[in-house]
């Protein structure tokens, strides 16, 4: 897993996403758009980027079916943004870096 991104499971999801501003990347190892997002997530999750304002998390949908099912995730990557435990945003599919950054910044 990437340095500044916390890997979640069905068991840890609620605790890890209940406080502050959190983005969760729902993905799979076999997903090309998910792999294309990895460098963008790695860059933006750095402490000198957005990592000091947003907690970046990731969940493999193949290993953790319950949480994606609870959120009605049908396509990956899907990004769920939560603020203090409440879903405030959702993005689906590959996002260019600037578009992704701007989408996140509106929640800060």
| Active-site annotation holds for 34 | yes
Q: Residue 1 to residues 51, 53, 88, 105: CA-CA distances in angstroms?
A: 15, 20, 25, 24
**What's the helix, strand, coil split of the chain in %, to 5?**
30, 25, 45
| Active-site annotation holds for 31 | yes
8, 31, 61, 81: the active-site residue? 31
Structure-block tokens of residue 65: 């079916």
8, 23, 34, 44: the active-site residue? 34
Active site members: 31, 34
């Amino acid at each position: 897993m990437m340095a500044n991104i916390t890997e979640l499971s069905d068991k840890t999801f609620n605790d890890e996403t209940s406080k502050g501003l959190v983005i969760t990347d729902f993905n799979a190892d076999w997903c090309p758009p998910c792999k294309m997002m990895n460098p963008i997530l790695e860059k933006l999750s750095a402490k000198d980027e957005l990592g000091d304002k947003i907690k970046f998390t990731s969940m493999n949908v193949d290993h953790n079916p319950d949480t994606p099912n609870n959120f009605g995730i049908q396509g990956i990557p899907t990004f769920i943004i939560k603020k203090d435990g409440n879903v405030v945003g959702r993005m689906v599919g590959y996002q260019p870096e600037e578009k992704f950054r701007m989408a996140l910044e509106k929640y800060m």
